[in-house]
Amino acid sequence: MTLKYNRKLLFLILWMGCIFLFSQQNGQDSSQTSGIVLEILKRLGLDSAATGQSNLSFFVRKAGHFTEYLILGILFLRYYRERQPSRKKLLITTVLFVFLYAASDEFHQSFIPGRGPAFTDVLIDTSGGLVGILLHGQISKWRTKQAV
């Protein structure tokens, strides 16, 4: 294995660890993390009076899920593509990996006080991973086009 390949694996494992740590937070700590993002949005002019505090909080939490797994999808794709020359198998394996990690993450949350599993979160997470794959593909095409 090359140093570049090992680095990709390290980033993937570290990101998976970050997702695990976010899931390890109890309900109150998780809400506080979302509260920080809500405060930033409020300072940017997206105050709760205009959007409704609970609606904005819900959106922030789901956007967090989506973004975590968007990044996971990209990192896994970049790591695994050196091992899987078939583009179709690479894409299927990446989506499957993201889905299974999201499902295991929700299962993990069932053991955390104030948290609970939600299949809708698995779908949001998987959608984030899928968008990450598509985004990575578009950026790669754009870079190839720019290099020519």
| pTM higher than 0.95 | no
- Which DSSP state fits 82? T
| Contact status, residue 42 vs residue 56, Cβ threshold 8 Å | no
- The domain spans of the chain are 3-147
pLDDT in tens, 37-89: 667 767 777 665 555 556 777 788 888 899 999 999 999 999 999 888 899 99
Q: What token pair was written down for 115?
A: 């948290």
- d(Cα 132, Cα 126) in Å, to the nearest integer? 10
In the chain, DSSP finds a helix count (H) and a strand count (E) of 6, 0
pLDDT in tens, 121-142: 999 999 999 999 999 999 988 9
144: pLDDT confidence band, cut at 50, 70 and 90?
confident
